[in-house]
Structure 1
Amino acid sequence: MSGLQDKVVIVTGGARGIGAAVAARMARDGATVVVTDLLDEQGAKTASEIRGLFLRHDVTSEDGWKSVVEATVERYGRVDGLVNNAGIAAGTPLESETLEQFERVLKVNLTGVFLGLKAVIEAMRTAGGGSIVNIASISGLIGLPGVSGYGASKWGVRGLTKIAATELGRHRIRVNAVNPGVIYTPMTMERNAQLGEGNFPPAPLGRIGVPEEIGEAVSFLISDAASYMTGAEITVDGGWTSGQAMTTQHPDTTGGTAPDPGVQVNSL
């Protein structure tokens, strides 16, 4: 992948799963990557493996965002890219989801993206431009049952992506989104996701995805190869939302018991 050499990119929720795969892909493509997460040990390990920097980071904190951007600029002199990947999931039917759960998911998944967008504008403007990728979800493309807070947050991320793209284009800052389908991560493993052909019939390709496939899409959008793309979305879901009939029951890979609302994990 061309266009990432010498770029400095922040990846939130980068300790494991999709975030770690994104960080690794961009590092191989020449970027210097700052991994942020609440998972200290895993985050430090991921950053060490790609010769990057790990910073502990709560994406719901405006001061936390300020510290991350300042530390990145102090260490590397600039910020060229941001991947808003950090998120939490809740797989609870609407009637059962509590206000606390709903608001917590929105705070991490949507407010966290909002704060990230705001936090990097000045640094990117100073650098002469930049590229931001927000990790949304197929839950923000269709009305999947059992994920009211999560789905609402991802619909919001898609809208915020387009609004930011229209506002920031004049500063040469591009803003795009990636919509993953069911991806094999620690989060989906807890919901019985299985790799291999034929293990996910709802997708025309017949399988779930792997984090590296999301990493490829994100690295492209961050890079100069996507220099005329902003306000766009790439859906990486094996064709699940391509138009075939959807099941009425949410798949086990994204439903079931929600994780602790205080645990920050990777987005689906």
Structure 2
Amino acid sequence: MSGGRGELDGRVAIVTGAAGGMGGAITQTFLAAGCRVVATDLKPRQLPEAGDALSCLAHDASSESDWRSAVAEAVGRFGRIDILVNNAAYFEPAPFIDTSADDMDAHYRVNQRGVLIGMQSVLPAMRAAGRGTIINICSVAALSGSTGAFAYMSTKWAIRGMSRAAARELAPFAIRVNAIMPGLIDTAMMARNPPERNAGIIGAIPAGRAGRSAEVAEAALYLASDRSAYLTGSEIVVDGGLSA
């Protein structure tokens, strides 16, 4: 899956949740590959060393007006949109019996509604560019049943279905839609799990460790590049063998 630096030269991406571990790694990997990036988050993190290739924007992924602003920033500053990475996520672990309707709504707004609005918002610019690639960050939680994070898992199953359906509908416009299914990745979100839950998951991972954000970012780079030109409606699992 290795590619050369500069393989995203001339392309423009929007990456949501870019202040977090995976989003930050994806942003930096894309920049290193020659991409110009609009990196969004509720509290965006600046990367002065990126210079004019990076624009950091405060952005609520569940807000239609914020999405209009993100698209306007990408098109206004960089002239186009080629890549969207829907990475922003909400995660409050709780088992089914303790999950309220409000808990479900909070997860839905960011994880599912945000992905829907994001994909729809970039569509006109991608159609104008003649092609595009959308990468939805999903989860291995959407590959099987699990306990302890009912609302989060439910929305990730939804994103998996949305990605496949959108891939079919957008293929005539040369827009590809794929999903990445990370397992346990060493980020701030992982730290929200009880330590004993993380220990149990790591014990079940054949690779014997949590994943690194950079490993997810390399999968995103592959899906953003021409190396994956024939992939749409697909899922790349980055989980150290957990789901094998």
Quickly name the TM-score band, shorter chain normalised.
Answer: over 0.9
The one-letter amino acid of 1:151's match is M
| In the alignment, structure 1 residue 20 sits paired with structure 2 residue 31 | no
Residues 131 and 193 (structure 1 numbering): CA distance in 2 closer, same or farther, change over 3 Å?
A: farther
- Matched positions, count: 235
Q: Deviations for 1:7-44, whole angstroms, at most 9, x for unmatched residues?
A: 1000000012100001111111111111000013xx2x
Give the corresponding residue for 1:163: 165
Pick the structure with more helix per residue: 2
Q: Deviations for 1:77-98, whole angstroms, at most 9, x for unmatched residues?
A: 0000000000011210111111
SS in 1 for 2:110: helix
SS in 2 for 1:145: coil
Query: CA–CA distance in 2 between the matches of 1:18 and 1:187?
Result: 10
Give the corresponding residue for 2:10: 6
Listed as ranges, the matches of 1:5-154 within 5 Å are 5-40=9-44, 43=45, 45-46=46-47, 48-51=48-51, 52-154=54-156
With normalisation by structure 1, the TM-score equals 0.84
Give the corresponding residue for 1:175: 177
Q: Deviations for 1:198-244, whole angstroms, at most 9, x for unmatched residues?
A: 992211111110100000000100111111110000000000000xx
Residues 199 and 161 (structure 1 numbering): CA distance in 2 closer, same or farther, change over 3 Å?
A: closer
Q: Residues 130 and 173 of structure 1 are in contact (CA less than 8 Å); yes or no, is this contact kept in structure 2? A: yes
The one-letter amino acid of 1:9's match is A
Listed as ranges, the matches of 1:198-209 within 5 Å are 200-209=202-211
The one-letter amino acid of 1:175's match is V
Q: Residues 83 and 134 of structure 2 are in contact (CA less than 8 Å); yes or no, is this contact kept in structure 1? A: yes
With normalisation by structure 2, the TM-score equals 0.92
Q: Alignment partner for residue 234 of structure 2, among 216, 219, 232?
A: 232
Query: CA–CA distance in 1 between the matches of 2:50 and 2:238?
Result: 24
Residues 148 and 191 (structure 1 numbering): CA distance in 2 closer, same or farther, change over 3 Å?
A: closer
Structure ranking higher on relative contact order (CA contacts 8 Å, 6+ apart): 1
Give the corresponding residue for 1:212: 214
Residues 164 and 69 (structure 1 numbering): CA distance in 2 closer, same or farther, change over 3 Å?
A: same
Query: CA–CA distance in 1 between the matches of 2:217 and 2:208?
Result: 20
Query: CA–CA distance in 2 between the matches of 1:49 and 1:219?
Result: 20
The one-letter amino acid of 2:153's match is G
Query: CA–CA distance in 2 between the matches of 1:190 and 1:92?
Result: 11
C-alpha RMSD over aligned residues: 1.6
Q: Residues 140 and 158 of structure 1 are in contact (CA less than 8 Å); yes or no, is this contact kept in structure 2? A: yes
Query: CA–CA distance in 2 between the matches of 1:206 and 1:50?
Result: 34
Query: CA–CA distance in 2 between the matches of 1:190 and 1:157?
Result: 21
